[in-house]
Amino acid sequence: MSGYKRYTVILDAYLHARNDREAMVEAARLAEYLQKADDNQAQVMELEETPINSYNHRLIHKGRLTLFENKLIEA
């Protein structure tokens, strides 16, 4: 990959889930998808609940979320 530079992307995304645990699993799946799509090191670092039409948010998890054999690993 001569001539290429490496960049870090900070990405915000919205996902919908029935509860906090499901949101954590879906966020980890999204990171896993990005890892496979481009052989990168995508990871979830923070998850917040953000209600529609509200400026309020609630921290669900801070730290890494990953899936291992379809089980959620919180770090």
Q: Which of 33, 57, 55, 59 is nearest to 45 (CA)?
A: 59
| pTM of the complete model | 0.77
3 burial type by CB count under 10 A (0-12 exposed, 13-18 middle, 19+ buried): exposed
* Tens-digit pLDDT profile for residues 17-68: 999 999 999 999 998 898 888 767 888 888 999 988 888 999 998 888 888 7
